[in-house]
C-alpha cells in the first residue's frame, strides 16, 4: 500500500515501474550482447583475413586457422551469458 502511494506520488503505478524495470533489463541485455558482438567482430576481422590467407597458401592450416579465428568468440558468449542472467535472474 505504501509502495503504491509512493509510486503514485512519482506519477507512476507499480505496474508501470515493473514494466520500465523490465524494459531497462531488456535494454541492458541488448547492450551486453550488441557491444560484445561488435568487439568479437573487430577482433575476428584481422584474424579471419589472415587465416583465410594462410589457408589459401596451405590447406593443412585450416584446423589451426579456424581455431585462431574463433578464439575471440568467447567475448560474445560472455555477453550472451550476461544478457541471459540480466533477463532471467
Partner 1 sequence: MLAPKRMSRLLIAASRDQMAPVVAELYRHNLFHIEEFVEAGAEGYEGFKIGTPLSGASEASVDLVKIRAIENSASIQGDDIDSAKTCTRVELQSRIERELPVLEKEVEDLTIRRSKLETRVKENEQKIAEITPFLTVPVDLDLYRGYSGFGVFAGYVAHEVTLSVPCEMSYSPGKEKNFIVIVAPVGQRNEVERALQDAAFQSVQIPEESGAPQVRIDYYSADISAMKSEIAEIHQKLDDVRMKHSGFLVACEEYLRAEVEQTEAPLRFATTKQTFVAEGWVPTENVDAVTDALVKVTNGKIYVTVLPIDFEHDNVPVEYNNPSFSKPTQVLIDVFNRPRYTEIDPTLMVSIVFPIFFGLILGDVGYGLILLVMAFGLRKFFKGDEGRHLLDVLRNASISTIIFGLLYSEFLGFPIPGLKPIMFSRHLMAEAAEEGGAVAGHGPMIPELMVLSIWIGILHISLGRILGMINHARQDHGEHRTKAVMANFGWLAVMWGILIAIWSIAALPLMPNLTGLPKIISVVNVGGIIGAVLIVAGIVFIARDSLLEVVEIPTIISHVLSYARIVAVGLSSVAIAMVVNFIAIGMFIEPQLKNFTIFSIFIIIAGLVIFLLGHALNTALGILGGGLHSIRLHYVEFFTKFYKGGGVKYIPFGMKRRFTED
Binding residues for partner 1 (CB under 8 A): 62-64, 66-67, 70-71, 73-74, 77-78, 80-81, 84-85, 87-89
DSSP class of residue 58 equals -
Residue 20: CB atoms within 10 Å: 11
Q: Which is nearer to partner 1, 8 or 64 (CB)?
A: 64
Cβ-based neighbours of 69, under 8 Å, separated by 6 or more: 44, 47, 48, 51
- Cβ proximity to partner 1: between 5 and 57 the closer is 57
Closest to partner 1 by CB, 54 vs 78, is 78
Amino acid at each position: 500500500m505504501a509502495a503504491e502511494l509512493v509510486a503514485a506520488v512519482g506519477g507512476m503505478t507499480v505496474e508501470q515501474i515493473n514494466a520500465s524495470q523490465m524494459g531497462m533489463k531488456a535494454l541492458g541485455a541488448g547492450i551486453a550482447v550488441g557491444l560484445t558482438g561488435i568487439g568479437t567482430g573487430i577482433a575476428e576481422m584481422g584474424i579471419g583475413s589472415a587465416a583465410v590467407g594462410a589457408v589459401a597458401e596451405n590447406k593443412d592450416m585450416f584446423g589451426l586457422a579456424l581455431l585462431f579465428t574463433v578464439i575471440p568468440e568467447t567475448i560474445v558468449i560472455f555477453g550472451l551469458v550476461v544478457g541471459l542472467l540480466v533477463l532471467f535472474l
